[in-house]
Amino acid sequence: MYMYLKLLFILFPISFFLFLLYISFNEKKYTSCLYDPLTNFSYIHVDNKKTIKNIQDSLNKQDNVYHIKNGGLYYNNKLMKKLLDCSKTNIEFMNKKYGVGLLS
């Protein structure tokens, strides 16, 4: 009997942790156009709603947490990814490539 309780106390936290990990990595992703107020250009980015909002807020505040330079998105001065210009053709391409929808 005690062996089963020990097993339950070991497996429950592990399964709960794996569940939380699964949820955090499977957030719904969207295509969005990020507007860079410094250059007046928009770029396509695919991510979850919260991250897209954080990036756009940072670009608007120009706090340099996120910034765009030479078509690259930087986070704390480290290149995260290269970006495409925001156009209908590029949006359709990204939606098909990543299997996502446009954030409205």
- Which has the higher per-residue pLDDT, 21 or 93? 93
Q: Please, is 82 exposed, middle or buried when counting C-beta atoms within 10 Å of its C-beta (0-12, 13-18, 19+)?
A: exposed
Pick from 23-32, 64-73, 92-101: least confident: 23-32
pLDDT greater than 90 at residue 31: yes
What are the structural domain ranges in the chain? Answer: 30-99
Answer whether 91's CB lies under 8 Å from 22's CB.
no
Residue pLDDT, tens place only, 49-72:
999 999 999 999 999 999 999 999
Answer whether 80's CB lies under 8 Å from 73's CB.
yes
Average pLDDT score over residue span 11-22? 65
* Per-residue model confidence (pLDDT) at position 14: 77
Rounded mean pLDDT of the chain? 86
User: What order of strands is seen across the sheet that includes strand 101-102?
Assistant: 84-85, 41-47, 30-36, 101-102
